Structures are given as C-alpha cells and as structure tokens.
Chains A and B, each alone.
Chain A
C-alpha cells in the first residue's frame, strides 16, 4: 500500500492544554486507499489528534499545536473544520449529525444543494435560488451507489433504522467532489453485528477506489479485520504502528492498556503489599446484582450480574460506552433500570434515588458539575445537603419537632472538618462550589458521600479531569476510608492502572455485560483481552465469567 506519496502525513504532532500535555510527538502517514485503525484508551489523545487535523477552533484558542500536517503533499493548517472539508477530508462523528425531519437526499446535500439558476440571484445572492430537486436526487443516488448499499433517497431520517443513518452520514462525506480521506469515529458503536459487517465491506470498497480511511474504534476485532495498519496511542504518545495482518486483538489490547516496565513494577509492588487484604473469598456478600439493565445514554447496561463482598474495594472497568458507568447510576436510581439488586439480603428498590440512599448507599457521580454539585451554593451546602435530607442531620427541631430548622453552624462545622481532612483549597465553607478547581470540587463530592457514613460507596471516575496531586489524595482517601470504617467501595474508572492500584477485584464491562472479573494481581494482558471483548469461546472460559 505504500504508494509514492502519502495522502496525509502527520509529523511530530504535540499539544498541551493549560500545561497539561495530552499529545507528544505523534507521527504517521496515511496512503491513498489505505485504512488505518487508530486505537487507544479514553484520554489517549485520539480525539485531540482529530481536532488538530480538522482545525477545530478549540485548538487555536488554547495556543495551537506543535508539529506539522501535510495533506496531499502540501503543508496544511486548517483554521476551521470547513477548510478541512474543502481540502477533501470528511468526518463521520460518533453521534449522528443529521436533521431528523429531512430526507436522505436533503441530509446528504445539506448546505451543498443543487440550485436552479434565477435572475434574482444577481440581486439577492445565490441563496434566493430554488432547489433543483432532480439533480440533488441523482447526486445523492450516485453517492449512495459508491457505498454499495441501498438507501431510499426520499426517506425521512427519523423513520430510518440506525444503520441507514450511519450510511447516510458516510454518503454525505462521499458526496463532496474531492474527498480523499474519511475519518470515522466509532462508526460501528451503534450498529448491530450484521450492520457493522455491511459497513466494513463498504469501507473496503471505498478504499479500493483510492480513498484513505482513518478508522477509530474500540471494537478491536473489526480493526484487525478491516485495517491495513494499526496505530496505537497511549497517554498522548504513539506506541506502535504495525500492519494489522497477523496481529491479534490481544496484542493490540495489551499495547493500549500497557504501561512502561518500571511503572508496572511499581504497581505490582503496591498490589503485592495489599495482597493480604484481598482474601475476599472468605467474606460475606454485601451487594449482589442480578440481570441488571440500565438505560443510561451512551452507557447502556444490558445484563449485569455481580456480587460484592463486605469491606472490599471492588473495581469496575472497561472502555468508554460499554456500560460501566451505567451500573452505579442504575443501582442508585439515577437512570431507569431493571433487574434485581440485593443489599445485605434485602432487595433495593430501583428507580428511586431516595430508597437507595436510605439503604445507606452513597454515590460520587462521574458528572461532577451536572449531578455532583450545587455550583451556585457554598461548600457547606454541597457537603451537608444529602445527609440533611436523607438522614435529618444538621437539623434542629423547633416548636416541639413540628418543624426542622436548618443549622447553618453545624453545616459549616462539618464543611470545616472536611476542608481540613481532604485539604480542600478554598476561602472557607461559604465559597461557591462553582468557583473551586476540578480537584477540589471532587473532594467536595467525596465529602458529601462520606457525610452519609455509607455502608456501600459507589465512586464513579473519581480522578477524571483533576491534577496528579489531587488524584493521589483522592485515591488515598478512598483507601483510608475503606480500611478505617470498613466501608465497601465500588469504584468505576476508565483508568485500569488506577483500579489495579486501589481495588481488590476488578470487573470488566463489555457491551453492557460483565466480561470477566479478575483479581488486581492478574496480568495486564488479561484485562486487555476482556476490555476488547475477547472471543468468548477461546479465552473467557478460563476467567471468572460474568454471565
């Protein structure tokens, strides 16, 4: 495939946001008709790389990037996504960007419609011309024909099955005259297996016509099957760039999640030190989950079975979108859910946050600003509110208990206590939560959960978007809390290393199900296999299967 000149050539691309490095010295080429699989965990830098390629304004607003991009033989620095589109790069996003009430044709040609000529144009400009529907339909048809699938050009998007929407998006990119490179971000995530098959053969067809493709996907099997070469990103670095032929999902997965040797050694040592703790088999079960489904947008849980032992730290990992976040949100009643959750032998009512809280479970949400905090209220309110409402703490009965009066002083004391304990940097208990930094906001969220003195604490993505120092403090606090109070902690995180360094056992979620549960001491490759949805008949049998 190494034709004379690559279509796209990335040389030494680097980028940092506010001193936080997310990409460093990434270089690779894409030749005409070549399909590149771009893989990496969340936060590995894939989306930043694509933002740079497309000239998204957010890049230049945060100080531009390092390195250079050559497209079609010329150095390219796109100022807006429109420049990139004009140059011949198409993008198919993970979320549909289609207009539901428009037909296939109208969507394919959105803002590139064929127009009838009209004398009014000279006076009012080209937007006054009427649409040439016949030409539009034939243009759309020819774009669809390139895909090798049948789509009704006059069907409304909202009446289409999901797969057809995805094809419409691709057809839209193909419809540009000069398209030379198409980037697809998780194109198969919403498709069924048969639909995905069709999509893959379509992509092969396009490549055979000389169009280069960058295929971003967590479905490693598809990457191996479809791509010519695979580029693995990890922590902003390009780790490997190798032919897909002959590689295995297992190999790619370990490259994605693997760490350098010394880091590995450090973690192993840490795990070993904790190995005394992890004699969890002997302990009694505190929480057992059966046939749980959760409808959480983007994190659908289909059928989860697991049980958590009393006093352990139980990890839940997996790649983005596989449903790991749905599990705590479902159990805590925040997303519509069904199935059975049993705590200490008694079933927990689902879809009722209050019932979950009253059973002494607490949740630190991954969505700090959306769910976790009252941004406009002070730290004291944020920490004390849930405990006040659920457990009647910080309330004084007045008029013989007829009313419950909020004790601002008690709330303030509590806030002071946690500000000291968790080293929350702030001006005082009254400071608005919205004005705190990410790490300190996260500490407030933890304090809110601690104030409930829970039996089971769910923590979701506790270190997302906070700096290293705060990360350590948060994780250490969790460990300390677990050992001091014997609180059972269920921690959900996309960072496998973090899970391995904190948890006793770790469940990996894949496509809404538990793919397997491993002790934290298991080799990293085994986790990688589970995360990539290993072929069940080969490897999973040997592991502790979720279902």
Chain B
C-alpha cells in the first residue's frame, strides 16, 4: 500500500491518469472498429515528426533555465534555413542538408542572444521566454513580407507581397526521412525509419553530451547553481550553451517536422510550437528542473498517442471530434500541474 502511494506521489496523479487514458483508448480501439495498425503507424510518424522538438527542451531544463517557452526562436531559425535552402535552388538530400546547415547557423546566433538575455533575468525566464518568442515571431512575420525572396514556389503569385503563408516542400525534400528505409507492412502500417533513426541519433548525441565534462557541468548548474559556482563553473556560460543547444535542436526539429508534414508554415505558424513539446516532456515525467531522455521518449509516445487515438476513438464512439479540446486540456493541465508543484525537496 505504501509503495503504491509512493509510486503515485513520484509519478504524479495526472501522469497516471493520462497513461491509463491512453491504454483505455488502445484497448477500446478494436472494439469500436478503429484500425489499430494504422493508429500505431500514425503515432510512430508523429513521434518521428515531433520527437526532436521535445528533445530540444532537455538542455535548458537541465541547466535550470526552465521550460523553454521560447522554442519558437529555434523554429524561426529552422524556417529561415528551409526557405533559404529552397531559394538557393537545392533539392533532395542536398536541399535538406543545406536547410539544416543554414538553420544551425541562425539557431546558434539566436540562441546566443537569447541566452544572454535570459542570464539577465534569472528567476523570471519562463514568462519572458514566452513573450520574447511571441514578439520574435511577429518581427519575423514582418520580415517574411519584406525579405527579397524570389523563388516562385514560395512567393505569392500575384496581388500579394512577400512569402506565402504555407510553402509546400513537395519536389524539394518532402518525406525525405519518413521514406528513407521505410518499412511498409500491408496497406495501413508504415514505419518511418529515417525519421525515427534521426530522432534516435539526436537522442544519442544528447546522451553523449551529458556524459561529457561540459554536460556534467550543465547538469550541476541546474541542480544547484551555487554548488556549481563554488566548483569553479561559469554559470552564465553554461546556461548560454544550453540555450544555444535548445535553439539549434528546435531549428533541426522543425525541419524534420516539415519534411514529414510536407509544408513550411510561416508567419504566425511558430507562435505556439513550444507548448505541445513542453506538455509532452512533462507528461513524460520531467520536472521544471530535471529531465531525462526517458522522459522525452515516454512523453513523446504518450502525448502523440493521445493526439492520434483521441479523435479516432471519439469519432467512432460518440460521433464527435473533441480532440482539440482534449488536447488543450491535457497539455495545459500538465504544464499547470508542473508549475504548481512545490520544488522537490529532500525527504
């Protein structure tokens, strides 16, 4: 009984409810005529699409900067990479590579400035990150209107100024990862090998990073900044490194997302990109100051599972699509729960 209680306390009631809810959905699926293989396949594709965005949150949580609601800065870097790559006329793997390369340069620059700013407002990072992210998205919206892009697939044909709101990557690098070594079983099941491999590879790199000297230092900064300082660590520098990593991963994440989704969404598209990722990692068991790769995997799987299963089951049973509402309640409820939980103290 006691161990049960401790499990509930450690894992958190909301997380247990969400897990049970997802299991219930999967369990119900065959009975209400939902195609289970297709659902699982969808879930896998979504994990491949979104996984790196969730992963991008880990460095900043570990360094004590909190939940990166300003992930939209990374997304903007990714959008710049993608559009510039298309503008330069690269296609296929070259185009995809160029997009990533360019996005990483922007990500590094944005991340550095963003990290500098966050170092001046320690303690108030989350709210400031949100609004810095929001206002950057709007500045970029103005930029999309006036930047001198010329490629006809990206600009409004006639009567408009600037880039289109959505740009198709068909003919450039659509599904370049999803279709790489794809495993197709029957008509309904498709395993996006390439995307999952890239997600796994990035996770491995993060794992490696946090086993290096510098990664260890960043973890200590997040765990107890005063201890880290007394051990001769330059806290501000470690935080900037983590913010840069997060922003660069966000940039990579959105490009992987785009190749699967098939479109680049400009203007207000990146506004709320951070929120699903934040919700996912929290559902996976991360706290505001501690996150592991396990949290990322479990979180991405649970969150994307719910997103895939909820509409199909609800549609089948109730003939209503409440998935949007449920998504809003689950993701924000989870964030709210994490915010109001007292910082874990030693027993």
Contacts and interface: CB of A to CB of B under 8 A. Distances in A.
Complex: A in contact with B (CB within 8 Å):
yes
Nearest to B214: A404
B290 interface: yes
B230 A404 contact: no
A198 interface: no
Interface residues of B, number: 23
Contacts of A385: 216, 220, 227, 231
A295 to B, nearest CB: 16
A233 B211 CA distance: 53
B232 A375 contact: no
A372 B290 CA distance: 20
Interface string A421-445: 0000000000010110000000000
A357 B232 CA distance: 7
A384 B345 CA distance: 23
A404 B224 contact: no
Interface string B228-256: 01111110000000000000000000000
A356 B230 CA distance: 10
Interface centre among A363, A389, A390, A432 (most CB of B within 10 A): A389
A402 to B, nearest CB: 10
Nearest to B346: A434
Interface in A341-372: 353-354, 356-358, 363, 365, 367, 370-372
B223 interface: yes
A385 B219 CA distance: 11
Contacts of B342: none
Contact of A370 (B226, B234, B345, B347): B226
B344 interface: yes
B213 interface: yes
Q: Which of B219, B227, B344, B347 has most A Cβ within 10 Å?
A: B227
Contacts of A395: 213
Contacts of B230: 332, 334, 353, 363, 365, 371-372, 386
Contact of A357 (B217, B231, B290): B231
Given A403-B212, A405-B211, A406-B211, A386 B231 contact: yes
Interface string B283-314: 00000001000000000000000000000000
A406 B213 contact: yes
A377 interface: yes
Contact of B212 (A354, A375, A376, A405): A405
Contacts of A376: 223-224, 290, 344, 346
Contacts of A377: 219-220, 223
Contacts of A372: 227, 230
A395 B290 CA distance: 24
Contacts of A354: 232-234
Given A354-B234, A357-B232, A377-B223, A392 B346 contact: no
Interface string A49-79: 0000000000000000000000000000000
A390 B290 CA distance: 24
A392 B217 CA distance: 12
Given A377-B223, A435-B347, A353 B217 contact: no
Interface in A399-416: 403-406
A389 B233 contact: yes
A434 B226 CA distance: 15
A85 interface: no
A373 B224 contact: yes
Nearest to A356: B232
Given A354-B234, A375-B224, A376-B223, A392 B229 contact: no
A205 interface: no
Contacts of A434: 345-347
B232 A353 contact: yes
A388 interface: yes
A385 B228 CA distance: 9
A386 B215 CA distance: 14
B232 A386 contact: yes
Nearest to B212: A403
A211 B213 CA distance: 64
B212 A373 contact: no
A524 B346 CA distance: 40
Contacts of A473: none
Interface centre among A386, A392, A395 (most CB of B within 10 A): A386
A319 B39 CA distance: 70
Contacts of B213: 388-389, 392, 395, 404, 406
A221 B345 CA distance: 43
B344 A404 contact: no
Contacts of A381: 216, 220
A367 B211 CA distance: 28
Given A353-B229, A353-B232, A388 B216 contact: yes
B216 A406 contact: yes
A374 interface: yes
Nearest to A441: B346
Contacts of B347: 434-435
Contacts of A388: 213, 216
Contacts of A358: 232
B231 A389 contact: yes
Given A406-B216, A434-B346, A373 B233 contact: no
Contacts of B212: 403-406
B233 A375 contact: no
Given A395-B213, A406-B212, A390 B346 contact: no
A435 to B, nearest CB: 6
A343 to B, nearest CB: 16
Given A332-B230, A377-B220, 11 more contacts: A353-B230, A354-B233, A354-B234, A371-B226, A374-B224, A376-B344, A381-B220, A385-B231, A386-B230, A392-B213, A434-B347
6 contacts: A372-B230, A375-B346, A381-B216, A395-B213, A403-B212, A405-B212
Interface of A: 332, 334, 353-354, 356-358, 363, 365, 367, 370-377, 381, 385-386, 388-390, 392, 395, 403-406, 432, 434-435
The 4 closest A-B pairs by CB, nearest first: A434-B346, A354-B232, A386-B231, A404-B213
